[in-house]
Amino acid sequence: MKNIKIEINLDVFESVSKLPVSIQKLMDKAHKARDRAYAPYSSFKVGAALQLNSGEIITGNNQENAAYPSGLCAERVAIFYAGSQYPEATIHSMAISAKSLHSKITKAVPPCGACRQVLAEYEVKQNSLIEIYFMGESGKVVKSNSVKDILPLIFDSTFL
């Protein structure tokens, strides 16, 4: 038996003001998108903003549904929109902001497993890494240099 240890790398910024200015702007777009989320069932609003290499910024937010599983997370709304409108674009970075209408979230909220899997697909498709910055309503911002750091052992098309 052999034991394998996997090391992941995350950077933690004390607050938004410690981020590079371009990422502060991206996070601001994520906050604004978050506040437009349609989340009447969970009251948990999430916004995502993608920086494309072209300079364009794409945003998305969670869209819920009375048939709960029919809803979609903010991250996938944004990524699928980018994929459908700009199929040749490269996504450089993603900022994610989450807010609950019940209590103030000060912990950084990472993307869910399904969104990580979708991010992995796009990293493979574009053959370059996507920086991911995530946070709650306020507080620390966590940065992952690639989805590989938050989704070790990714499943991709090489297994098919």
Q: Does 130 bind ligand THU (CB under 6 A)?
A: no
Q: Does 115 bind ligand THU (CB under 6 A)?
A: yes
- CA distances to 90, 95, 160 from 34, rounded to whole Å, are 23, 11, 36
Q: Does 46 bind ligand THU (CB under 6 A)?
A: yes
What span, in angstroms and rounded, lies between the C-alpha atoms of 9 and 98?
A: 22
CA atoms within 13 A on the CB side of 26: 26
Beta strand pairing call for 44-52 and 91-100: antiparallel
Q: Does 132 bind ligand THU (CB under 6 A)?
A: no
Q: Does 136 bind ligand THU (CB under 6 A)?
A: no
Binding pattern for the stretch 57-96 against ligand THU, x by CB under 6 A and - elsewhere: -----x-x------x-xxx---------------------
Q: What residues does 47 pair with on adjacent strands?
A: 61, 97
Binding residue for ligand THU, selected from 10, 28, 42, 125, defined by CB under 6 A: 42
Cβ neighbourhood burial of 3 (10 Å; 0-12, 13-18, 19+): exposed
Name the segment binding ligand THU (CB under 6 A); options: 24-32, 41-49, 119-127, 142-150: 41-49
88 included as an active-site residue: no
Catalytic residue annotation: 75
